[in-house]
């Protein structure tokens, strides 16, 4: 974790006792496309939908440690830079897990971006999404379940609030 650069001004919330947190990473390739992976159809939470790299923060783990761990577990890449906090949201899944807080970051990674080492037991596909591909991110999502779409759209469309 010590080799991860966190850009100035990036907020890293500290979970309060008893809060459940998740983290998400928007990863861009050299063409400015964002990485997403498709959750397997048999997943209890958000089955067969596109998702960011990320997951639950374990008890006693910091958000940045969880982000680095999830990037490594889900892609085989190494988190090297946290550029921007894209947003913090709260949501309740249909898995009975209760309210979760989610912090999503624009990050940079080291590794072969053409060859992610996906967890194939949890994900069925991956893709790179530019502005013309954003509609695919809404597949199998209910109205209002557009967090992944909206985060990726914010980054790949280059909105001014995203730093360089």
DSSP 8-state symbol, 97: -
Classify residue 136 by its DSSP letter.
Answer: G
Tokens representing 43? 């997943």
Is 161 inside any structural domain? no
Q: Which two tokens stand for residue 60?
A: 């006693």
| Residue 162 within a domain | no
As a whole number of angstroms, the distance between CA 15 and CA 37 comes to 26
Q: Does residue 86 lie within any of the structural domains?
A: yes
How many Å apart are CA 98 and CA 152, to the nearest integer? 25
Placement of tokens 């990726």 in the chain: 152
* pLDDT value, residue 164: 39
pLDDT in tens, 39-82: 999 988 888 999 999 999 999 999 999 999 999 999 999 999 99
The model scores a pTM over 0.95: no
* 164 located within any domain: no
- Residues 104 and 54: beta-carbon distance below 8 Å: yes
Residues 6+ apart with CB under 8 A from 92: 98, 99, 100
Q: In CATH, what number is assigned to the domain containing residue 129?
A: 3.90.79.10
Burial class for 40, CB neighbours closer than 10 Å (0-12, 13-18, 19+): middle
> How many domains is the chain partitioned into structurally?
1
For residue 119, tell me if it sits in a domain: yes
Across-strand partners of 38? 50, 125
Q: Is residue 132 part of a domain?
A: yes
Strand boundaries in 8-159, DSSP class E: 20-27, 34-39, 50-51, 53-56, 78-92, 99-110, 123-129
What pLDDT is attached to residue 72?
A: 97
* pLDDT-derived band at 162, boundaries 50, 70, 90: very low
| pLDDT of 5 above 50 | yes
Provide the residue range defining the domain that includes 144.
Answer: 5-10+18-156
Kindly state whether residue 77 falls inside one of the protein's structural domains: yes
- Contact of 74 with 39, CB cutoff 8 Å: no
Report pLDDT digits (tens) over 89-134: 998 877 777 889 999 999 999 999 999 999 899 999 999 999 999 9
Least confidently predicted of 38-42, 50-54, 83-87, 160-164: 160-164
Is 30 among the domain residues?
Answer: yes
Given pLDDT bands bounded at 50, 70 and 90, which one contains residue 143? confident
């Amino acid at each position: 974790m010590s080799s991860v650069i966190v850009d100035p001004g990036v907020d890293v919330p500290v979970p309060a006792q008893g809060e459940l947190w998740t983290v998400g990473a928007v990863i861009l390739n050299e063409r400015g496309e964002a990485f997403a992976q498709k959750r397997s159809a048999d997943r209890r939470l958000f089955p067969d939908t596109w998702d960011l790299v990320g997951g639950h923060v374990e008890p006693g783990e910091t958000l940045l440690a969880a982000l680095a761990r999830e990037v490594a577990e889900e892609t085989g890449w190494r988190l090297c830079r946290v550029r921007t906090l894209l947003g913090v949201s709260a949501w309740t899944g249909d898995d009975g897990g209760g309210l979760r807080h989610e912090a999503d970051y624009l990050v940079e990674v080291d590794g072969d971006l053409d060859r992610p080492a996906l967890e194939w037991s949890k994900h069925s596909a991956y893709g790179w999404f530019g502005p013309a591909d954003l509609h695919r991110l809404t597949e199998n999502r209910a109205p209002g379940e557009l967090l992944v779409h909206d985060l990726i759209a914010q980054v790949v469309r280059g909105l001014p609030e995203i730093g360089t």
